[in-house]
Amino acid sequence: MGEDDEKQSEKRYISSEELRSHNTPSDLWISIQGKVYDATHWVKDHPGGELPLFNLAGQDVTDAFVAYHPGTAWSLLDRLPLVGYLSDYRVSDVSKDYRRLAADISKKGLFDKKGHITFIVLCHMCLMFAVVVYGVVCSPSVWVHLGCAVVLGFLWMQSGFLGHDSGHYRILNGPLVNRIMQVVSGNCLAGISIEWWKRNHNAHHIACNSLDFDPDVQHIPFFAVSSELFRGLTSYFYERKMSFDGVARLLVSYQHWTFYPVMCVARLNLFAQSVLLLLSNKRVRGRGQELVGLGVFWVWFPLLVSYLPSWGERVMFVVVSFAVAGIQHVQFCLNHFSSSVYVGPPRGNDWFEKQTMGTLDITCEPWMDWFHGGLQFQVEHHLFPRLPRSQLRRISPLVRELCKKHRLPYDSFSFWEANVRTIRTLRTAALQARDSANPVPKNLVWEAVNTHG
């Protein structure tokens, strides 16, 4: 964009109402620090995918831009057509303090201080993988095989944490080695598409705990964290209606009992979602790499299981490894299921509020950080997703003080308390689902299970 474009647009002022009218994929405007840009043709090139822009289209997105982009990204805005200036641009006190804190963190260089966590985790993963392969192939003991299944489950957990980190910032120097690490640790080692995860996770961060925009709280027919889901909301992520029919009512009615068993096999859903995305017509970066990576997983894992001496041990190995890895799925749920939810698209002007209200921290000692992989500082992570996990504990007191200053929630509970809160939330929704005052189409299974007298 040259000086002529700047001069032509400097006298044009656009109201928030007019900005909101440009909120479709074919006509997409956004505002950043009072400047209004036409991002319609930038969507296809956006490194974070199209969903964050679609979900925040027609709004001021300054806080989200600050959260997700390094300082070097500001100069890239000059590549976007400048439409004009927001006539009623205002910054709330909360946003001012949030941006000030983000600037302070950046000045201290914390976004770049990754520490040695990546190297340590990679070494542990290599060691665990070697132990699993050696134990399965070389030992005849069923107890060794059981132990190897447990180790494999923890290996997949660490792989998930590493993939989570690499999706938010470069954990290794250079984009190529970072990409190789993503595909190897995610697709090849865990059987989960890193591109599926990034697409899913970016949508989750932007629309944290929105019942119709956040895929991480859209688990109908198995789970419902709010009775609002009984109304059959449309998922803007999955692009379909989340029908609350008789089967869903039956499953949700007992969700506080089925939660942990389902978490034990939740990896199956990630496998399926990965394949569905890669075989779809959606834009996927490095689709070929992703498919090859999944192919590697589905060669080595069945081959490893085949070395076990009996079908009984093979089933045991798969079930135990999946169940242990299911701890991570529980961790994901604890951070959000019992927090505040809402219906509708995310709004750019209450970024800080929505992120703090939709998340909670897990209190733990530093020596347990390996177990939580940074997810225990979920509030801090959602506010500063580019911040390396080694720095989250350091900024936690600053975030707590900022929440206190603006009378916003800063929820922090022990691992046990967070589990209790999650089960309580599921139980509340389950009892509401059983209420006959909320009729839905029933089927014969529902009628058979709930017939009394």
Percentage of the chain lying above the pLDDT 90 cut: 78
Residues 6+ apart with CB under 8 A from 295: none
Q: What is the mean pLDDT of the chain?
A: 90
Over 60: is that where the pLDDT of 328 sits? yes
Q: What is the pLDDT of residue 416?
A: 96
Q: What is the pLDDT of residue 448?
A: 44
Is 393 within 8 Å of 110 (Cβ atoms)?
no
Predicted confidence (pLDDT) per residue in 425-436, tens digit: 999 999 999 885
Element (H, E) at 335: none
Q: What is the pLDDT of residue 414?
A: 95
The one-letter amino acid code at 285 reads R
Ranges assigned E (strand) in 290-437:
361-363, 412-414
Tokens of 404: 């206190």
State how far the Cα of 20 lies from the Cα of 207, in Å rounded to an integer: 17
Over 80: is that where the pLDDT of 397 sits? yes
Is 418 within 8 Å of 376 (Cβ atoms)?
no
Tokens of 172: 């290794």
Tokens of 356: 């703090």
Predicted confidence (pLDDT) per residue in 265-322, tens digit: 999 999 999 999 999 999 888 999 999 999 999 999 999 999 999 999 999 999 999 9
Biggest CA–CA distance in the chain, Å, is 80
Predicted confidence (pLDDT) per residue in 209-231, tens digit: 999 999 999 999 999 999 999 99
219 three-state secondary structure: strand
Predicted confidence (pLDDT) per residue in 130-160, tens digit: 999 999 999 999 999 999 999 999 999 999 9
User: Which pTM value belongs to this model?
Assistant: 0.90
Can you say whether the dihedral through the CA atoms of 245, 216, 264, 130 is positive or negative? positive
The one-letter amino acid code at 37 reads Y
- Cα–Cα distance list, 95 to 107, 168, 301 (Å): 18, 22, 48
Predicted confidence (pLDDT) per residue in 176-193, tens digit: 888 898 999 999 999 999
Can you say whether the dihedral through the CA atoms of 128, 129, 134, 140 is positive or negative? positive
Tokens 């199209």 sit on residue: 50
Predicted confidence (pLDDT) per residue in 378-387, tens digit: 999 999 999 9
Q: What is the pLDDT of residue 4?
A: 53
Ranges assigned E (strand) in 142-258:
234-235, 240-241
Is 259 within 8 Å of 422 (Cβ atoms)?
yes
User: What's the pLDDT band for 450 if we cut at 50, 70, 90?
Assistant: very low
State how far the Cα of 289 lies from the Cα of 295, in Å rounded to an integer: 10
Angle CA 391–60–359, to nearest 5: 40
3-state helix, strand, coil in the chain (%, to 5): 65, 10, 30
Give Rg (Cα) of the chain: 23
**Which of 7-11, 195-199, 256-260, 268-272 is least confident?**
7-11
Over 80: is that where the pLDDT of 7 sits? no
State how far the Cα of 266 lies from the Cα of 285, in Å rounded to an integer: 25
Over 80: is that where the pLDDT of 449 sits? no
